[in-house]
Chain A
């Protein structure tokens, strides 16, 4: 290696190390503050080197955490059910659109992809879901509005069926007497596994991180709150308390007892935990998915 290359490598490593640290620092502060003694945090503020550590936030979660465990359960339920349904619907609608011989294919494609261009927006959607379909304050509010939110996933899977599953193979299956459904299930889907896994990841992360639908549609059923909705409600309450400290009694029942600062941070840590745990396993697929989808993204 010549001198210039060495210097370049060194500089690049320094810059990248710096950026990596910057990416981690906020998350680190969150984790450390969840292990900080509550009084120390209130007195000295959030710190990377707190004078007193404590795991009391986590023992509190385990001892009194009914609300939190429930929210955790809802998050997992919504993520699993929502992702499964979404992947099934997406794959089912993508496969026929990839078939060049399908009569009416252009009209149907337009029907699907026009939704990427133009939408009714929040207000009409909200009025329809609450007024016509009555999903307000039901668990479906957390699942239904996100099912096919992005026709872009359809685009991804369709392109994969077009390029990754040769027509000859599908025809061979049909000549062997397989029905359309069997061909789809036994031949096309197994071949499209990589893209289906990628879409499942995107959708799964979207469901896990979604706070918006619960915030809009769950107005009275706080027992259906996911972990993100719970966190959202708690941060609102901090703001509420700091701006109206005289009217603490107004804070919503059930969450009336505001957990201490460190407990809030501990809940936030548990909200990130599942993603961090699965991250090493999904990272490869995730990167592939972004690369595939990126240019069209």
Chain B
């Protein structure tokens, strides 16, 4: 029977798989339209875009858009911000997530542990628009909780938070940790739960305390996962959480020096300034460098653990 099946001619073979190809059709069509067609539109980065002439009719300008992007400080500021924020997020959110995961795994009170875990995951599910409302309730110059309650209690003057770029790196780092630590810790928690209990029992018999067990058993076994997730995050270092950087500082011009990232720059260029050519130059810069970084980090991940690589 099986022999006969494999001996089918090429055409017959394809026909018998027709239903499977048909199943894929909607998805393939969608990806073609949503993901592949726009790639052709990347040529806009090399053109002086004119809405009347359209994408393909506009005049070529070569690398002018890129030159201009880096001649102004914009190109460097958005690159610097994007990379530095991502570095900070990777380090701080990883440390916090690992710490929380270890604590959750060691707690013996199951019910309370469940509550802790549920509550710290909750912020992850809240949209960035609503997060910006939460931040506004704390930071608003006139009625914010900090200016009305906290700072007076400390005997400090109110601060116009939305006009002071220097505070925003800290604010954004705190908001990012608040929003994502609950989510990140679950992956580490799953790894810890999978560790053979025998290691801990043996260590306990040898007289190792809890902290020693964490240091000598949990952390070393978590290391591969930490490295893996960090490398994947490094691959995405040219992309930023758009909602966080656009919504939370409420698109305030006064804050751009410390809140503008490649994503928000591209967005504003397109929708507020109508500077489509410049915006697409920044977009292409992001896509190309992002591509190289994702590919590179995936190669590294592959070396470390073949099953975890995406490709």
**Chain A contacts to B: CB under 8 angstroms:** 4-5, 8-9, 12-13, 15-17, 19-20, 22-24, 26-27, 29-30, 33, 41-42, 44-48, 88-90, 92-93, 95-97, 99, 102-103, 108, 111-113, 115-128, 131-133, 144-145, 147-149, 151, 154-155, 179-181, 184, 205, 208-212, 216, 228, 231-232, 235-236, 238-239, 242, 261, 264-265, 268, 271-272, 275-276, 279-280, 283, 286-287, 290-291, 294-297
On whether the beta carbons of A148 and B134 are closer than 8 Å, the reply is no
Asked if A29 and B137 sit within 8 Å, CB to CB, the answer is: yes
A183–B262 alpha-carbon span in the complex (Å): 46
Taking a contact as CB atoms under 8 Å apart, the answer to whether A13 and B109 are in contact is: yes
Cβ–Cβ contact A275 & B270, under 8 A:
no
**Interface core residue of B23, B178, B250 (most chain A CB under 10 Å):** B23
**5 other contacts beyond A26-B135, A90-B27, A115-B36, with CB at 8 A cut-off?**
A8-B211, A111-B28, A125-B41, A128-B37, A211-B128
Q: Is the CB of A45 within 8 A of B38?
A: no
State whether A15 and B23 are in contact (beta carbons under 8 Å apart), knowing that A45-B147, A127-B41, A147-B34 are contacts in the complex.
Answer: no
A103–B107 contact, CB under 8 A?
no
B38 touching A124 by the CB < 8 A rule?
yes
> In whole angstroms, what is the CA distance A204 to B263 when docked?
24
Q: Please name all residues of chain B whose beta carbon is closer than 8 Å to the beta carbon of A144 when the two chains form the complex.
A: 34
Residue of A nearest to B1 (CB): A175
In the docked arrangement, what's the CA distance between A261 and B187, Å? 39
Contacts of B134 in A (CB 8 A): 26-27, 29-30
Known A128-B38, A290-B183, A294-B190: A212·B116 in contact at CB below 8 Å:
no
Complex contacts, B88 vs chain A, CB 8 Å: none
Return chain B residues, CB-CB under 8 Å to A236: 250-251
Tally chain B residues at the interface, Cβ within 8 Å: 106
Given contacts A124-B280, A279-B125, A296-B310, is CB(A154)–CB(B44) below 8 Å? no
Tell me how many residue pairs across A and B have CB atoms closer than 8 Å: 295
Which of A4, A96, A122, A211 is B267 in contact with, Cβ under 8 Å? A122
In the assembled complex, the CB of A279 is this many whole angstroms from the nearest CB of chain B, namely 7
Q: How far is B160's CA from A239's CA once the two chains are assembled, in angstroms?
A: 13
In the complex formed, the residue of A with least CB distance to B55 is: A127
Within the complex, the shortest CB–CB distance from A230 to chain B, in Å, comes to: 9
**Distance A122 CA – B240 CA, assembled complex (angstroms):** 13
What are the 9 closest A-B residue pairs judged by CB atoms, nearest first?
A124-B41, A120-B38, A45-B148, A93-B27, A294-B187, A209-B127, A180-B19, A121-B283, A124-B38
Q: Which residues of A contact B107 (CB under 8 A)?
A: 9, 12-13, 16
B186 touches A231 (CB 8 A): no
What is the CB-to-nearest-CB distance from B173 to chain A, in angstroms, rounded to a whole number? 14
Partner of A112, one of B31, B109, B271: B31
Question: B107 → chain A, closest Cβ, in Å?
Answer: 6
With CB as the reference atom, state the residue of chain A lying closest to B267.
A122
13 A-B pairs with CB atoms under 8 Å apart are: A9-B108, A26-B123, A93-B23, A111-B28, A116-B310, A118-B39, A124-B280, A127-B38, A179-B19, A232-B247, A280-B118, A295-B225, A295-B229
Contact B44–A124 (Cβ < 8 Å): yes
Give the complex CA separation of A228 and B134 in angstroms.
14
In the assembled complex, the Cα of A78 lies from the Cα of B33 at a distance in Å of: 20
Residue among A22, A93, A127 making CB contact with B44, cutoff 8 Å: A127
Q: Which residues of B contact A286 (CB under 8 A)?
A: 121
Which partner residue on chain A sits nearest B291 by CB separation?
A: A118
Q: Are A96 and B280 in contact (CB under 8 A)?
A: no
A140–B234 Cα distance when bound, in Å, is 34
Contact call A154/B137, Cβ cutoff below 8 A: no
Report the Cα distance A116→B123, complex, angstroms: 26
Residues of B within 8 A of A27 (CB): 122-123, 126, 134
| In the assembled complex, B14 has its CB within 8 A of some CB on chain A | yes
B201 within 8 A of A: no
Contacts of B62 in A (CB 8 A): none
- Interchain nearest-CB distance for B286 vs A (Å): 7
Instruction: Tell whether, in the assembled complex, residue A26 and residue B178 are in contact, meaning their CB atoms are under 8 Å apart.
Output: yes
| Chain B proximity of A47: nearest CB distance (Å) | 6
- Give per-residue flags for B286-311: 1 if the beta carbon is below 8 A from chain A beta carbons, else 0: 11001100110000000000001011
- Determine if A89 and B26 form an interchain contact, defined as CB atoms under 8 angstroms apart: yes
Bound together, the chains give a CA A27 to CA B124 distance in angstroms of: 12
CB distance from B169 to the nearest CB of A (A): 19
Given contacts A29-B137, A124-B40, A148-B31, whether A96 and B186 have CB atoms under 8 Å apart is no
